[in-house]
């Protein structure tokens, strides 16, 4: 496109700057960065306007490279950005990226095991390991990488995403996994616009050794809820199943409006009921909290 100009002015920084801005105008960031760099090589400095544009390109490339799981490339662009715009905050960010790179192989290994496992317990699962918790505590933003054609994302709050992505956003079918010493949650369903949207199934597993028990009562060790969510919040019909320690299974159909469980009426004992069990006629009481997918805030 600009070959004639370059033949006439091989070492003219003004021409390089103009060409860079033309490439930037048409959205060709790679060539824009190249000619800004050539301008900088010849003149050893850039105008504030050109400096801002090149810095913006470097920052965008750094973020995109990390989203695509290329930490080496991301660090390279952050280093270029720091050389252009030295400041303490950027230096701190770069130090974090370099530290992240050091433990990435082990973090990826742990995350892969968490993502692909089909059975979670409280004695042998990486999501509860001290090592995994230590790694996630050092993250300031999600770390995402490709594995076997799908994406695995590790988030600072300890959640693990395993599924499809599009343009850097969670999109398509995926699992969303989190664990504590008392409870493990696995969300399996569809995502759109970086949020759970559509039909999801939330499986909750309780640590039986950590249940605060009352004499004479039996507890659910596993729960499964399937329903529609809008941006992670339950909306419409859903089904809740509780697997009790005594072998009984409760099965309820419920309705939500904006995450709020709806009442089907007041029982003779004055309780606000949401559903009646299909297997034993036990009442499910209306809860006050908003029912939604966790870990999205």
pLDDT of the residue at 215 = 83
Question: Do 218 and 256 belong to one domain?
Answer: yes
Rounded average pLDDT over 224-233: 98
User: How do beta strands 195-206 and 220-230 pair?
Assistant: antiparallel
Question: Do 130 and 210 belong to one domain?
Answer: yes
pLDDT in tens, 209-228: 888 888 878 899 999 999 99
Contact 161, 155 (CB under 8 A): yes
pLDDT of the residue at 13 = 65
> Is this model's pTM higher than 0.75 or not?
no
- CA separation, residue 237 to residues 15, 72, 228 (Å): 64, 46, 7
The span from the CA of 264 to the CA of 285, in Å, is 10
Give the DSSP letter string of the chain: --HHHHHH-TT-HHHHHHHHHHHHHTT-HHHHHHHHHHHHHHHS---HHHHHHHHHHHHHHHHHHHHTT-HHHHHHHHHHHHHHS--HHHHHHHHHHHHHHHHHHHHHHHHHHHHH-S---SSS-GGG-HHHHHHHHH-SS-EEEEETTEEEEE-TTS-EEEEEEETTEEEEEEEEEEE-SSEEEEEEEEEETTEEEEEEEEEEEE-GGG----TT---EEEEEEEEEEETTEEEEEEEEEEEETTS-EEEEEEEEETTEEPP-EE-TTS-EEEEE-TTT-PEEEPPSSPPB-SS--
Confidence category of residue 2, pLDDT binned at 50, 70, 90:
low
pLDDT of the residue at 8 = 45
Contact 238, 262 (CB under 8 A): no
pLDDT in tens, 176-188: 999 999 999 999 9
Q: Which domain holds residue 211?
A: 105-285
Contact 270, 278 (CB under 8 A): no
Backbone Cα Rg of the chain: 26
The verdict on residue 100 lying in a domain is: no
The span from the CA of 288 to the CA of 117, in Å, is 33
Average model confidence (pLDDT) for the chain?
90
Confidence category of residue 10, pLDDT binned at 50, 70, 90:
low
Question: Do 259 and 113 belong to one domain?
Answer: yes
Q: Which residues contact 126 (CB under 8 A, 6 or more apart)?
A: 110, 111, 113, 114, 132
pLDDT in tens, 253-293: 999 999 999 999 987 778 899 999 999 989 999 988 999 99
pLDDT of the residue at 42 = 85
The verdict on residue 292 lying in a domain is: no
The span from the CA of 5 to the CA of 51, in Å, is 22
User: Does residue 192 or residue 4 have the better pLDDT?
Assistant: 192
pLDDT at 4 exceeding the cut of 60: no
Q: Given 86, 121, 154, which residue is the final one in a domain? A: 86
pLDDT of the residue at 229 = 98
Question: Do 82 and 116 belong to one domain?
Answer: no
Question: Do 64 and 111 belong to one domain?
Answer: no
pLDDT in tens, 93-102: 898 888 778 7
Question: Do 179 and 232 belong to one domain?
Answer: yes
How large a percentage of the chain has pLDDT more than 90? 62
The number of folded domains in the chain is: 2
The verdict on residue 91 lying in a domain is: no
pLDDT in tens, 114-123: 999 988 888 8
User: Does residue 76 or residue 137 have the better pLDDT?
Assistant: 76
The region of weakest confidence among 9-13, 148-152, 153-157, 159-163 is: 9-13
CA neighbor of 195 nearest in space, from 68, 83, 295, 58: 295
């Amino acid at each position: 496109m600009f070959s004639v100009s370059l033949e006439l002015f091989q070492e003219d920084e003004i021409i390089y700057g103009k060409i860079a801005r033309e490439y930037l105008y048409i959205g060709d960031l790679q060539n824009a960065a190249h000619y800004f760099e050539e301008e900088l090589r010849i003149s050893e400095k850039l105008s504030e306007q050109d400096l801002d544009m090149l810095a913006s390109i470097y920052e965008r490339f750094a973020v995109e490279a990390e989203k695509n799981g290329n930490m080496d490339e991301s660090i390279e662009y952050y280093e270029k950005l720091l050389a252009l715009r030295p400041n303490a905050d950027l230096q701190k960010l770069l130090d974090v990226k370099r530290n992240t790179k050091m433990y990435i192989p082990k973090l990826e290994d742990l995350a892969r095991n968490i993502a692909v496992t089909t059975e979670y317990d409280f004695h042998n699962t990486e999501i509860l390991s001290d090592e995994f918790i230590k790694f996630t505590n050092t993250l300031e933003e999600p770390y995402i990488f490709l594995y076997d054609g799908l994406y695995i994302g590790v988030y600072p709050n300890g959640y693990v995403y395993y599924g499809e992505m599009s343009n850097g956003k969670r999109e398509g079918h995926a699992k969303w996994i989190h664990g504590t010493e008392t409870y493990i949650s696995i969300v399996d369903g569809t995502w759109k616009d970086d949020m759970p949207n559509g039909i999801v199934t939330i499986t909750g597993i309780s640590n039986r050794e950590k249940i605060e028990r009352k004499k004479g009562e039996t507890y659910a060790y596993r729960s499964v809820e399937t329903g529609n969510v809008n941006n992670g919040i339950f909306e419409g019909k859903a089904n809740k199943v509780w697997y009790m320690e005594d072998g009984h299974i409760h099965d309820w159909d419920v309705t939500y409006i904006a995450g709020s469980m709806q009442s089907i009426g007041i029982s003779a004992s004055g309780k606000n009921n949401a559903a009646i069990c299909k297997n034993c006629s036990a009442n499910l009481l209306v809860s006050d909290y908003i029912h939604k997918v966790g870990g999205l805030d």
